[in-house]
Amino acid sequence: MESAEAAFVRKGSPHPHAAQLLAGWLTSNEGQRLLDKEDYKGFPWVPGTFNAKLAAGNKVLFCDPECATKAGEMSAEYLRALGLPVTQ
């Protein structure tokens, strides 16, 4: 299951603090429930989300920042294992 998203505020944005507030709200239980309702990407520790139901009674592992920097490499390895082409 995948539940990570990258978020950023562009340099020169007219309302950077509004974007930061939105990003903060999206990490709240209320925001997670909205993300879950729209895209099934609520965090597994937020009760009632799709991922919380999937994770119930199972071991959940999270990729730390060092692991996350290798995401492209891991995706390529997965694609190769499936016999699919990998782009550079």
pLDDT number for residue 1? 44
Report pTM: 0.53
In terms of Cβ atoms closer than 10 Å to its own Cβ (0-12, 13-18, 19+), residue 8 is exposed
What is the token pair recorded at 63? 């990729």
pLDDT at 6: 63
Taking only the tens place, the pLDDT of each residue in 8-63 is 678 888 888 888 888 888 888 898 888 888 887 778 888 888 888 989 999 888 77
Q: Where are the domains of the chain?
A: 16-81
Q: Is the pLDDT assigned to residue 80 strictly greater than 80?
A: yes
Look at residue 4 in the predicted model and tell me its pLDDT.
56
Q: In the predicted model, is pLDDT for residue 83 greater than 90?
A: yes
